[in-house]
Structure formats: C-alpha cells, structure tokens
Amino acid sequence: MRVEKLGLTPATLACLHTAGIVNVTQLTSHSCVELMQHPDIGPTKVYEVIRRLHKHGLALPNQWGWVRVPNERGIEMFRLRFIEGLSLPETGRRFGVSRSRADQLLRNYFGVSTLPAATARQRRGEGG
C-alpha cells in the first residue's frame, strides 16, 4: 500500500518521499528512532505517522525490531514527551505512573524515551 493511502498531510508525505519512503512496507521497516532522527522527518511527523498507522492496526517497530501496536495511552505519552516536551516524570504523572514505567512504555512501544524532548530540542534550534 502506498503511504498516500494512510491519509497523511501533504507536508508529511513530502518528507517521507524525500526520505525515499513511498509505501507502507518501507515505512514500517524504519523504527521511530530512525524516523525521528531523520533531518527531514522529526518527531512531529512521526507522531502523525504513528496515529495514522494505528488507525490501520499497524505500527513502527521499536529499536529491537519488535512491533507492538500502541494503545491510545501510549500514543498520548509519545505526544506529551516528544511533541509537548514533558519530562519523563511529568509524563508519568499525567498517567498516574512512575517515571520508570513511563520510560518502559515508551521504549516498549516506540523504542524511545531518552531522546531529547521537544522543548530541549527547540532550545538548541533542532526543529521537528
């Protein structure tokens, strides 16, 4: 299936095409970490990809190659941590879990937790 079928925004589609990703098989062969660190993609677009894949029962693999379709709670944790820039303790508090549990959930679903949060990245001038 082509990535256009996922219903992504034109900006995200353009970034994926620039990265050479034109179909869902190619997209799901990349981990969240790989996509977030790609200079043309970044966390905001990865969040959009995660949401659209979720609607199709699909997910990106974590860094170990495991695929776990995240639940809404996991997706919201990703947004708070990497789009809104909350720290792990702040993210955990929003869901009534410890910092270590928030870290564990982000690592299990997305293979990420310790990449710089959005606000730290923005302060350094690295958009996403």
pLDDT tens, the chain, 128 aa long: 999 999 999 999 999 999 999 999 999 999 998 998 889 898 999 999 999 999 999 999 877 778 889 999 999 999 999 999 999 999 999 999 999 999 999 998 998 866 555 544 444 454 44
20: left (phi over 0), alpha (psi -120 to 50) or beta: left
Asked whether residue 78 is assigned to any structural domain, the reply reads yes
Q: CATH number of the domain that 70 lies in? A: 1.10.150.20
CA 122 to CA 127: how far, in whole Å? 6
Total structural domains within the chain = 1
Asked whether residue 128 is assigned to any structural domain, the reply reads no
Domain boundaries, position 35: 3-123
Asked whether residue 13 is assigned to any structural domain, the reply reads yes
Instruction: Please say whether the beta carbons of 43 and 118 come within 8 A.
Output: yes
What pTM value is reported for the model?
0.84
